[in-house]
Structure 1
Amino acid sequence: MTTDQPVERRTILKTVAAASMAGPFAGLVAAPEASAATNPRTVPLSPVADARDGVVRLHVPEGFRYRSFHDTTSPVFLTDGTALPGRHDGMGSFPGPDGTVVLVRNHEINNPVAAAFGTGTPYDSRAGGGTTTIQVTTRGEVVRSFTSLNGTMMNCSGGEMPWGSWITCEETINGPDVGPDFTNTSNIPLTKPHGFIFEVPASAFQGTGQSSRTPIRSAGRFAHEAVSYDPHSGYLYLTEDDFGFASGFYRYKPPSDPMVVGRLEDGGTLEMLKVVGAWNAHLEGAQARNATYRTEWVPIADPAPSFPYTTGVTAPTSNNTALTYVARQGWAQGAAYFSRLEGQVARSGVVYFTSTQGGGPPEAGNENPAGYGRGFGQVWAYHAASGKLRCVFQSQGRMQLDLPDNITTSPRGTLVVCEDNSDNNYVRGLSKNGKLWDIALNPTNDEFAGSTFSPDGKTLFVNIQASAGRTFAIWGPWHKIGV
């Protein structure tokens, strides 16, 4: 990659959508500083050396620095002796003792393995995913680290809960009762069904920062991506990332208020979003400027299916059948079609989520094995109190915004969007006026994931999601670039 590529990309950046934020969406995202808001393309990035070892790994704005840690290009061992797996993905940030930060980080590992990583009794002894918990300073210096959940699969994203937990999501429905997935690898060695969400309490100390390894089954068995919780409505919102089929947007009502009981309980109800007056609305297709919809919710009667199988024998239920089992219950009641719903975050009664391949020509039905959705990405906002859904940004091409994935918000309210494309992945800022600008560039072409700000808002933690993953702490004058 040449050093002038980021400049070229900013030169052709265009502003689209979200020019007006009236009604329940007023003030969704805080406006950046005047200099950045006037022309956000004037936030240049430059190669900067990693404070860990002096190697240039990121391009960042003037005045910013960063440090990487838990770089699995070489073996890394956690404080508890765990050999750290790679595939760093979604991540949450919580206050730690003495001004430190507690990060709970996913590891998106698929397919059966010889043995689950880490300490503690795993949910499934043959599944290689899970979470690790890391106590760090705001400059990315590791204090302690340990396994907090193991024996799960494809832990993609999740969500920070206001009662002090991370909810991690399995982006798969693999299990001994389901046939091989897209990798064509047998699921026979697995001991448990997958496709659930799990709660991981946030703590810097191993004894109190452990997941129970018990899935929240009533929140659905499907290709979960991310969750967020709106304390005003009392719902947990969930995105689905189903590559070859339409994806759904869901909400889960737990049986008890987690803000009171301090945890997310199983046994609640699951629903899927439907557009009022539109049967199976094709929201994966290109949207009109500021498209806004009234919505309702349809019930999912059987959210956690088990399929027949014989131990040691390939299950008769195909992966595709199992993968769409929950969604088809919603589709039969008119639920909306989206393309690959991924990152999600809730702020001030609004749930933001990305549609990674949304915004292109609409699909003919609810299936496209080559990838459901032919656009470059959308950002949606759901206003929980009014039930209104709005497309707040839609990319016009890969040189503008290419396949948005994980998202978070800064303390000032700016959306921070991670890209997941094949080259020149950026972390981008998105203002309420639909303005995009660059925050960081990864010149290795691996995707950014797990963006989350420290509780004091001064450090952005973000992962590189690759087989040899790493985590970054990035700090600098955020106000000068409108974040």
Structure 2
Amino acid sequence: MDRRRFITNVIAVAGPFAGVACAGAQGGVKPVQGGYGRLRPVPDLRDGKVRLHLPEGFRYRSFSAAGEKFSDGSAVPGRHDGMAAFSGPKDSAILIRNHEVNGPVGAFGDKAKAYDPMAGGGTSTLRVTRYGEVIQSGPSLNGTMMNCSGGPMAWRAWVSCEETVNGPDVADDFSGGDNSKLTRKHGYIFEVPVNRAATARPIRSAGRFPHESVAFDPSTGALYMTEDNFSFPSGFYRYLPPKHPVQAGRLLDGGRLQMLAVKGAKRKDLSVGQRPAATYETVWVDIEDPDPTFTGRPAYDDAVQAVGRQGREAGAAVFSRLEGAVFHQGVVYFVSTQGGATAAGDTPPSGFGKGRGQVWAYETWSGRLRLAYESPRSAVLDLPDNVTASRRGTLVLCEDGDGDNYLRGLTKSGQIFDFCRLEPIPDDPGAEFAGSTFGPGGHTLYVNVQAKQGRSFAIWGPWERGLF
């Protein structure tokens, strides 16, 4: 990068970054400033049923629910998760959507094209209008497993992440599935192009661990990746491809995998409560064996830590359940779902980490890590998961909490507000928001609800009235 472009980028990120980094001091005490007002039940334009609560003036339509048909006649799989929107012809959006299906349940779509014909996860690609009307849809990657989130790439591709290390070489995981039925190793990232078929080739040098999300830095070509290890510490990684992906036109294997460490503080535990706007200088440590070979079918709990343990032994920082990540103006914002201190009156969640959520901000150009926000209690922000950014820089956080689940906005000045509440589903208390992404031009916010019968939503309205 030349000096003029570098200075321009620094100026662009300094103001917004500094504002968000102060958010921890706000504590979410006044969660209304910058929002859109009181939420009210709104009927789905699809069938009139109330599924979402939104501010006045906003409307929505659901589409592509689990069990319905793609354009090719095959069935839409369930567990809709991470998603990205790309511009399509005639003001349409092209959505690439993950399906977080676990276990050897068989691939959806054409099994002849599957990475592993026994695995039921993958992605679907849909072309939709700004109002959630499906024009065309179909499978785009199949035979993968536990495709949780991922990230949009500047060369018009989606990178999908497997949140597991299942495979025939690993003992059965917590779900009770029989790993011996699988034909391939899992735990990788996969590229899914917008305009051509996915190759279903894993990027093995980017690691075999429970990947969650990917954020791409176009200035360097680096991919920043989060790890969601429910019962154990998680790490923040970056993958340095052998060639800049924009120049190559695709993501190449054979690069270098690294893990973030706090400078001068080996194995710094950042999963616990932090002071407001806590700031750390960082370094990166190399992962010597990103794709370890297992012998004797080790226990899943051992296999799932094999890569992360290498990083921590070299001094990498400890986080709790890193999930959503997004790149915006030189900063990677990423979510620690159970990071932070346990607030008085809140029940600590199960798994590693006892807080109700943190949002971290990593400056790619300076290597500085700052706490953007830490939830003071579950009523303000409860277990944030996927994240995206609006054109104004406000973050959209998808909750995965124990009670009502919201889409919440986090502004650059550190204010948090409610934008959307999921109508409770009587027989599905685990339903949650996932995969929020703004469509071309910012007219529509697309989002998924992961449920027993997952579905996607298109939401539109008077965005100019607030800070999205």
Shared fold (TM-score, shorter chain, > 0.5): yes
Residue 195 of structure 1 aligns to a residue in which SS? coil
Q: Which residue of 2 aligns with 1:480?
A: 465
- Tell me, yes or no, if the aligned pair for 1:176 and 1:193 is still in contact at 8 Å: yes
- Tell me, yes or no, if the aligned pair for 2:65 and 2:456 is still in contact at 8 Å: yes
Q: Does 1:466 align with 2:451?
A: yes
Alpha-carbon separation, structure 2, partners of 1:442 and 1:276: 41
| Compared CA separation, residues 38 and 170, structure 1 to 2 (3 A) | closer
- Tell me, yes or no, if the aligned pair for 1:129 and 1:151 is still in contact at 8 Å: yes
Q: Which residue of 1 aligns with 2:87?
A: 95
Alpha-carbon separation, structure 2, partners of 1:199 and 1:422: 33
Q: Which residue of 2 aligns with 1:219?
A: 206
Alignment of 1:68-147 (within 5 A): 68-72=62-66, 75-113=67-105, 115-119=106-110, 120-147=112-139
Q: Does 1:319 align with 2:300?
A: yes
Using the TM superposition, give the Cα deviation of residue 53 of structure 1 relative to its aligned residue in structure 2, in angstroms. Answer: 1.0
Alignment of 1:392-471 (within 5 A): 392-444=372-424, 445=429, 446-471=431-456
Q: Which residue of 2 aligns with 1:55?
A: 49
Alpha-carbon separation, structure 2, partners of 1:213 and 1:66: 33
Which amino acid is 1:474 matched to? I
Which amino acid is 1:343 matched to? G
Using the TM superposition, give the Cα deviation of residue 26 of structure 1 relative to its aligned residue in structure 2, in angstroms. Answer: 2.5
Alpha-carbon separation, structure 2, partners of 1:109 and 1:53: 27
- Tell me, yes or no, if the aligned pair for 1:245 and 1:369 is still in contact at 8 Å: no
Residue 188 of structure 1 aligns to a residue in which SS? helix
Using the TM superposition, give the Cα deviation of residue 234 of structure 1 relative to its aligned residue in structure 2, in angstroms. Answer: 2.1
- Tell me, yes or no, if the aligned pair for 1:358 and 1:375 is still in contact at 8 Å: yes
- Tell me, yes or no, if the aligned pair for 2:36 and 2:465 is still in contact at 8 Å: no
| Compared CA separation, residues 302 and 338, structure 1 to 2 (3 A) | same
| Compared CA separation, residues 23 and 139, structure 1 to 2 (3 A) | closer
Q: Which residue of 2 aligns with 1:289?
A: 276
Residue 112 of structure 1 aligns to a residue in which SS? coil
Q: Which residue of 1 aligns with 2:25?
A: none
Alignment of 1:139-178 (within 5 A): 139-178=131-170
Q: Does 1:359 align with 2:353?
A: no
Which amino acid is 2:203 matched to? I
Deviations 1:298-335 (A, max 9, x none): 000100112125xxxxx2x1101110000111111110
Which amino acid is 2:53 matched to? H
Alpha-carbon separation, structure 2, partners of 1:439 and 1:369: 24
Alpha-carbon separation, structure 1, partners of 2:90 and 2:64: 22
| Compared CA separation, residues 38 and 62, structure 1 to 2 (3 A) | closer
CA RMSD, 1 decimal: 2.1
- Tell me, yes or no, if the aligned pair for 1:179 and 1:318 is still in contact at 8 Å: yes
- Tell me, yes or no, if the aligned pair for 2:39 and 2:419 is still in contact at 8 Å: yes
Q: Which residue of 1 aligns with 2:229?
A: 242
Which amino acid is 1:337 matched to? V
Residue 321 of structure 1 aligns to a residue in which SS? helix
Which runs of 5 or more residues in structure 1 are unaligned? 1-21, 310-314, 363-367
Q: Which residue of 2 aligns with 1:275?
A: 262
Using the TM superposition, give the Cα deviation of residue 361 of structure 1 relative to its aligned residue in structure 2, in angstroms. Answer: 6.2
Q: Which residue of 1 aligns with 2:326?
A: 345
Per mean C-alpha deviation after superposition, the further-off stretch among 290-299 and 407-416 is 407-416
Alpha-carbon separation, structure 2, partners of 1:166 and 1:29: 29
Alpha-carbon separation, structure 2, partners of 1:158 and 1:117: 20
Alpha-carbon separation, structure 2, partners of 1:48 and 1:85: 26
Using the TM superposition, give the Cα deviation of residue 153 of structure 1 relative to its aligned residue in structure 2, in angstroms. Answer: 0.3
- Tell me, yes or no, if the aligned pair for 1:244 and 1:369 is still in contact at 8 Å: no
Residue 94 of structure 1 aligns to a residue in which SS? strand
Which amino acid is 2:412 matched to? K
Q: Which residue of 2 aligns with 1:194?
A: 186
Q: Which runs of 4+ in 1 moved over 2 A?
A: 22-26, 28-31, 36-42
Alpha-carbon separation, structure 2, partners of 1:83 and 1:29: 47
Alpha-carbon separation, structure 2, partners of 1:435 and 1:47: 24
Residue 338 of structure 2 aligns to a residue in which SS? coil
Which runs of 5 or more residues in structure 2 are unaligned? 1-10, 21-29
Alpha-carbon separation, structure 1, partners of 2:414 and 2:142: 40
- Tell me, yes or no, if the aligned pair for 1:125 and 1:191 is still in contact at 8 Å: yes
Q: Which residue of 2 aligns with 1:266?
A: 253
Q: Which residue of 2 aligns with 1:300?
A: 287
Using the TM superposition, give the Cα deviation of residue 455 of structure 1 relative to its aligned residue in structure 2, in angstroms. Answer: 1.4
Tell me how many residue pairs correspond in the alignment. 440
Match of 2:352 among 372, 382, 398: 372
